[in-house]
Structure 1
Amino acid sequence: MTIRLPRSAPESQGISSNAVSRFLQAIAENDIELHSLMLVRHGQVVAEGWWAPYAAPLKHKMFSLSKSFTSSAVGFAVTEGLLSPDDKVLSFFPEDVPNDPSPHLEAMRVRHLLTMATGHTADTIDPMKMTPDGNWAAEFLRLPVDKAPGTHFLYNTGATYMLSAILRKATGQNLLDYLRPRLLEPLGIEGATWETCPRGIAIGGYGLSITTEDIAKFGQLYLNKGLWGERRILPENWIEEATSKQIANGDEGESDWAQGYGYQFWRCRHGVYRGDGAFGQFCIVMPQQDAVLAITSGTNDMQGVLNRVWEHLLPAMRPGAAAEDPQAYAELNAQLKGLKLEPPERTPSSPRERSLPAETYRLEENERTWKALAIRFEKDEAVLTFQEESEIHELRCGRESWAEGTSKLLEGTDSRLAAAFTWENPDRLLLTLRFIETPFCITAAVDFEDDEVRFSYRINVGFGGQEAPPIRGRLR
């Protein structure tokens, strides 16, 4: 069942339209790429917007904001008596216990997974993903635990996976199936997906995809201390524990990553807490202001996003209604409806479009395993065909406008794509590929010279290098 939060003018809920406009302007002036936002005050959506080609119906990858949903699933299981935060981690995996477990491993409890205080000194997720048999839990238990659990904070995505694996053991269900009747259906969260490990267990620490309004509803549930309307979803004491500082993670200075950590929730300055994910996926809960802010984005400047929230939105929230300002409200609505990320515009066409041969370029060996590239031009589109060993990918790019479709180029599975092209000069084709259910955008250049081609590209955000080695090719 589709459930939408109620809507209201900002002034009716004690915040000026001008404050929201200033926030949007500050984001633009600092070149921070947001994809969506939804601001909720007193349970009413007072501002919402999507930067086209991103759109309200589209899900977006949450990355580590997924962790807060995993924490909620643990809360349900604790409430139902299926597990306890004080249960030993090893007790759930008798078949995977190492031959000689260390005292630190034996001392590790579920609460240490929740608080990122497992005692590891490096995130465990990469070695877990590399294990040949796909048994991530067994690999987690094999890795050294250098410190006593509970004494040392280390952000550890592998720990959240272990929560998901424990939930599978305790409930007999995968994480998404377990959450569906308890959390997702009551809140009207539809179509959620969650990536799994090779053994079919939800990854827990990342992999959830939901919409912006779904984030806002989740935050509103926590703001209401577990109540959804008149219905009790999660116990208030669990919400309090999960969002309180359970362990120190820094000096509590100017960084919002140093204010303490709860059960897969971050503490912030100003009495705020949040769930967040890489590249700017936010569920920001402001209890003192009775407000929630949901954001999706594709930025490396996550602190910059929070700084603008504290600077422009937080101080603008007043206890009572603000004076009506129809002009400011109309201007804000126009601003929100006009949000967009434009494709580059240089030169819309080139003589190359008529002179390019119909043959295919054979590509040199490359990390993408592309074997060949063909390009043709139609009236309003450039059509690129990438040939792999056993698969062909066709990519349609609009002429200085977005052409929407799907592509497997990003992760090997169909992803929604908005793509555009322009010409930087007669011999250089520029491509912009926005994978609009993710933070990722690829910008590419195709350089033509005689019978050769050079394909180079970079990605806007990433965990490793963002620029790929160029790929060269020659006409067959």
Structure 2
Amino acid sequence: MASQRALLPRSAPAASGVSSRSIAALLDRLEAAPIECHSLMVVRRGHVVAEGWWAPYSAERPHVLYSLTKSFTSVAVGLAIADGLLSLDDRVVDVLPGHVPDGITEQARRITVHHLLSMTAGHPTDSLADAWELEPDDLVKGFLRLPFAVPEGTRHTYDNSTTLLLARMVEAVTGRGLDDFLDDRLFRPMGVDHAEWDRVKSGAVFGFHGLHLTTEAVAAFGELLLRGGVWDGQQLVPRAWVELATGRHIDCEPFEDGTEQADFSCGYGYQFWMSRHGYHGHGAFGQQCVVVPSHDLVVAVTAEGEAQALFDALWDCLLPGLDQPGSDQCDEQLAERLRRLSLSPVPGSASPVPGSAGAPGSVSAVLDASTDGSALPDGTTVTVDSTDGGWLVRFESLFDVEVGHGGWRESSPLGGPVVAAGAWQGGTFVADLYVITTPHRVRLVVDGESGRASATWSTVPLTGPRLELHLRSPLMTRPDVA
């Protein structure tokens, strides 16, 4: 892929008051934690002091942010308010009158922009699935029809629907799609020319998830917030809105019951989480934009795993290394380590072990989808054909994927990229298929002896398990994220 223009200046860690040893300790901690990092960028005093991508992930490729998207929608709301088109007290029923069902409660009529931003509408749980079930063709109507558990403004409940409503309200008052509005007012002025969006069936963007950006664009967004909405001398976002959105508005409880979530228990702003240090925009599986104003620090991460482990590592390893002495030698050692970051390709040989059931040229099997997290339909015929330096894997009537041996091979069978590596382990062919614009991968296992195969997600995407859906660009689905 073509390289993108740098958005942020670079410096050695020591020149920006960061000990390389602290970043190395952070890497050590992350490698031992229950989180698989895909990228990391540390920005101190406005300069990138450390950056790395675990191959096959790479710097130039946009990555889905999941709910970190919500923080960008918050900025869009702030811009519409600054333009005089919207206010915190505006009610959903007034801004979106064509989406108001008959017979709604008085509380539903009172829901305002403030309640949506702070996720304090009063529903007992995330309303998305129930709202969709009530109104398959209009999620706004479904949201307004649902019963409330507490009065508006009194309790925070993490609720994806609130952000979808905000996106539709911004579009209603600006007359533009949320993506076009943010391109014009935020991304293009920042120099970000590679924002991509997943969409609902109508073609509208989700608003609460589905934005794809490079790691550096996420870090630049954090730096914009840290500087009070100023970018390259231009006030892109009003300082007052940045302070309001990233300030604490309501107490909150961890959105995962029974888990220790210290950095999700500090309060909630306007589509931002408060942290033990600073605040952050958060996306499922570890997509993070962490801003720590007191230390002039921004950290951007893409990953697959539990986000709290990342925060624990940041506070324990990185913060103690700020404003500590460093050395050129340590900086060079860290830079070399960051250049060599890689996930491990599947180990094994280029051909089946002699005497095993697998044939060196081609093997076929039938997919068993009985296991949890299956990525493909039951009964799909899977054929593995040898090619130069790898294999061509055919999923009958669906698509073909290229797989490398000892390295990664990329293909775009349905328009979206997948990067894969595999090997023979005895008479079994094993491959990892990375849906490289997401945190997720599929482990393919083809047993040459039994003639059975499986294709299982490492973590099932929130937009559903069918692999074909995630190999299309842009991803288009109904808004049914759980």
Q: Same fold (TM over 0.5)?
A: yes
AA aligned to 2:103 is D
List alignment gaps of at least 5 residues for structure 2. 255-259, 467-482
- Is 1:263 matched up with 2:267? no
Shift of 1:70: 0.1
AA aligned to 1:293 is V
Q: Give, in whole Å, the separation in 2 of the partners of 1:441 and 1:364.
A: 18
Shift of 1:230: 1.6
Secondary structure, aligned partner of 1:355: coil
Secondary structure, aligned partner of 1:217: helix
Equivalent residue for 2:180? Answer: 177
The correspondence of residues 70-469 of structure 1 with structure 2, limited to 5 A, is: 70-130=73-133, 133-250=136-253, 255-270=262-277, 272-299=278-305, 301-318=306-323, 323-350=325-352, 351=354, 355=359, 368-369=376-377, 371-388=380-397, 392-408=398-414, 414-426=415-427, 428-449=428-449, 452-462=450-460
Q: Give, in whole Å, the separation in 1 of the partners of 2:298 and 2:368.
A: 50
Q: Calculate the TM-score normalised by the size of structure 2.
A: 0.88
Q: Give, in whole Å, the separation in 2 of the partners of 1:466 and 1:91.
A: 34
Shift of 1:349: 1.9
AA aligned to 2:404 is G
Deviations 1:263-322 (A, max 9, x none): 00000003x1000100111100010001100111111x210011000011112212xxx5
List alignment gaps of at least 5 residues for structure 1. 409-413, 469-476
Shift of 1:69: 0.1
Deviations 1:203-222 (A, max 9, x none): 11101000001001100010
Q: Give, in whole Å, the separation in 1 of the partners of 2:309 and 2:365.
A: 43
AA aligned to 1:446 is V
Q: Give, in whole Å, the separation in 2 of the partners of 1:254 and 1:363.
A: 38
Identical pairs, percent = 34
Deviations 1:23-52 (A, max 9, x none): 111111225311111111111111111111
AA aligned to 1:290 is D
Shift of 1:354: 7.3
Contact 1:363/1:372 (CA < 8 Å) preserved in 2?
A: yes
Deviations 1:242-272 (A, max 9, x none): 0111000039x961110000000000003x1
Contact 1:420/1:432 (CA < 8 Å) preserved in 2?
A: yes
Shift of 1:423: 1.9
Deviations 1:210-245 (A, max 9, x none): 000100110001000111132111111111110111
Q: Give, in whole Å, the separation in 1 of the partners of 2:95 and 2:9.
A: 43
Count of matched residue pairs: 452
Shift of 1:156: 0.4
Shift of 1:462: 3.1
AA aligned to 1:202 is V
Q: Give, in whole Å, the separation in 2 of the partners of 1:243 and 1:163.
A: 17
Q: Give, in whole Å, the separation in 1 of the partners of 2:69 and 2:155.
A: 23
Between 195-204 and 433-442, the greater mean CA deviation after superposition: 195-204
Distance verdict in 2 for CA 1:377–1:174, change over 3 Å: same
Distance verdict in 2 for CA 1:165–1:393, change over 3 Å: same
Between 304-313 and 350-359, the greater mean CA deviation after superposition: 350-359
Deviations 1:97-142 (A, max 9, x none): 2221112101111111000111111212223445675322222222
Secondary structure, aligned partner of 1:202: coil
Distance verdict in 2 for CA 1:131–1:379, change over 3 Å: farther
Distance verdict in 2 for CA 1:373–1:131, change over 3 Å: farther
AA aligned to 1:278 is A
Contact 2:10/2:48 (CA < 8 Å) preserved in 1?
A: yes
Shift of 1:378: 2.2
Q: Give, in whole Å, the separation in 2 of the partners of 1:257 and 1:364.
A: 39
Q: Give, in whole Å, the separation in 2 of the partners of 1:77 and 1:458.
A: 43
Contact 1:58/1:437 (CA < 8 Å) preserved in 2?
A: yes
Secondary structure, aligned partner of 1:298: strand
- Over the aligned positions, Cα root-mean-square deviation in angstroms equals 2.5
Q: Give, in whole Å, the separation in 2 of the partners of 1:274 and 1:65.
A: 9
Q: Give, in whole Å, the separation in 2 of the partners of 1:233 and 1:399.
A: 47
Shift of 1:361: 5.1
Q: Give, in whole Å, the separation in 1 of the partners of 2:54 and 2:368.
A: 37
Distance verdict in 2 for CA 1:331–1:364, change over 3 Å: closer
Q: Give, in whole Å, the separation in 2 of the partners of 1:354 and 1:106.
A: 65
Secondary structure, aligned partner of 1:420: strand
Q: Give, in whole Å, the separation in 2 of the partners of 1:458 and 1:354.
A: 21
Q: Give, in whole Å, the separation in 2 of the partners of 1:25 and 1:52.
A: 17
Secondary structure, aligned partner of 1:101: coil
Secondary structure, aligned partner of 1:415: coil
Contact 2:261/2:308 (CA < 8 Å) preserved in 1?
A: no
Contact 1:353/1:376 (CA < 8 Å) preserved in 2?
A: no
Q: Give, in whole Å, the separation in 1 of the partners of 2:388 and 2:10.
A: 42
Between 8-17 and 373-382, the greater mean CA deviation after superposition: 373-382
Between 307-316 and 363-372, the greater mean CA deviation after superposition: 363-372
Q: Give, in whole Å, the separation in 1 of the partners of 2:463 and 2:192.
A: 35
Distance verdict in 2 for CA 1:131–1:433, change over 3 Å: farther
Between 50-59 and 1-10, the greater mean CA deviation after superposition: 1-10
Distance verdict in 2 for CA 1:353–1:168, change over 3 Å: farther
